[in-house]
Amino acid sequence: GAVVSQHPSRVICKSGTSVKIECRSLDFQATTMFWYRQFPKQSLMLMATSNEGSKATYEQGVEKDKFLINHASLTLSTLTVTSAHPEDSSFYICSATPGIAGSYEQYFGPGTRLTVT
């Protein structure tokens, strides 16, 4: 149980275009989803926290107009990288938590490799 999927697993796009990444919790309802970014050979950096039906909370230094997050349902969150540039190339990982009281374990998706040319 507790499976999180991401789509696509890899995407290549041209500079200036927008890319949408989906994160789905397959067998549980996710009250909260998180989006992380991982640069090569580095740890994961939290970008934003999204709760179903409300606006995402962005970490300091993350441009909310560039990284649009929508958490429209309890099983789906999307991250849209708008007007992508080569420096946005990275590994993006989402996680989801059912938010059961006393247990905040996050279940991670397999990640999406974004390359902007």
Q: Which residues bind another protein (CB under 8 A)?
A: 6, 32, 34, 42-44, 46, 49, 91, 93, 97, 99, 102-111, 113
Compute the least distance from the CB of residue 93 to another protein, in Å: 6
6 or 25: whose CB is closer to another protein?
Answer: 6
Q: 82 or 106, CB closer to another protein?
A: 106
CB distance 111 to 91 below 8 Å? yes
> Pseudo-torsion of CA 1, 40, 21, 61, nearest 10°?
110
Which residue, 18 or 26, is less far from another protein as judged by CB?
Answer: 26
Residue 54 or residue 103: which is nearer to another protein going by CB? 103
Asked if 60 and 72 touch (Cβ cutoff 8 Å), the reply is no
Residue 32 C-beta: closest distance to another protein, Å: 6
Question: Count of CB atoms within 10 A of residue 110's CB?
Answer: 12
CA atoms of 82 and 68, how far apart (whole Å): 7
> CA 36 to CA 84: how far, in whole Å?
17
> What is the closest distance, in whole angstroms, from the C-beta atom of residue 108 to another protein in the complex?
4
